[in-house]
Amino acid sequence: MTAETDRERRGTQAIRRVVFDARAVQRRVRELAAEITEAYTPEDRLLVLGLLKGSFVFLADLVREIRLPLHVDFVVASSYGTATESSGDVRILYDPSSSLEGRAVLLVEDIVDTGLTLERLLARLEARGPASLEVCALLHKHLRPMAREPRWVGFDAPNEFLVGYGLDYAEDFRHLPYIASL
């Protein structure tokens, strides 16, 4: 399947180009999962926290490749900006009900753009006393230096607006199995 023939999913909505195709994404997810499996032990009681909504596809594929006992929970944060620009005003709409105390917490996020969402969220989560707190981001635009870089990054992303594999433009395109630019 090429993106040009992917009409069933996109309808008449156009994408500019496929940036990471489905095979490249799957291969990279397996590599990340292998590294994460190596980095923890069962005693760490790993809690994988998916930042909704953008991480849902990545998270689902990632956890199924991690060969460790783990729990999954979610965080919902909302940054109020325009559809394509982050405002930096991040609100946490759903805090994980799981206790983070003494556990290894791995926050999974779709894309680091300005990194503002991540910085604010990490501070909030750190306050809940996890034994460790790491980030696995599918994509990273490297737009500015961050106080804390994600430990795992799937792909360095071009500075374009990306959709697919969980990422949306006004809620469209989340279900594309590849990552494309608009």
Q: Please report, as ranges, the residues that interact with Mg ion according to CB under 5 A.
A: 54
Is residue 110 near ligand IMP by the rule CB under 6 A? Answer: yes
CB of 2 to Mg ion, least distance (A): 25
Which residue's CB is nearer to ligand IMP, number 37 or number 146? 146
Smallest separation, CB 24 to ligand IMP (Å) = 17
* Nearest approach, Cβ of residue 56 and Mg ion (Å): 11
Task: Supply the Cα-derived Rg of the chain in whole angstroms.
Answer: 16
67 Rama class: left (phi>0) / alpha (psi -120 to 50) / beta:
beta
Exposure letters 60-87 (e unless 16+ CB within 10 A, then b)? ebbbeebebebeeebbebebeeeeeeee
Neighbours of 117 (CB within 10 A): 21
Tokens standing for residue 109:
């996020």
Question: Could you tell which of Mg ion, ligand IMP, none binds residue 154, using a CB distance below 5 to 8 A set by kind?
Answer: none
Footprint of ligand IMP on residues 52-71 (CB under 6 A)? Answer: 54
User: Nearest 5 degrees, angle CA 126-CA 55-CA 86?
Assistant: 75
Say whether 113 is catalytic.
yes
x-or-dash string of contact with ligand IMP, 143-172, rule CB under 6 A: ------------------xxx---x-----
- Identify the residue among 79, 146, 151, 174 touching ligand IMP (CB under 6 A): 79
In 6-115, where does DSSP find H-type helix? 7-10, 22-39, 56-65
Q: Which listed option, Mg ion, ligand IMP, none, makes contact with residue 155 (CB within 5 to 8 Å by class)?
A: none
* Active centre residues (catalytic): 113
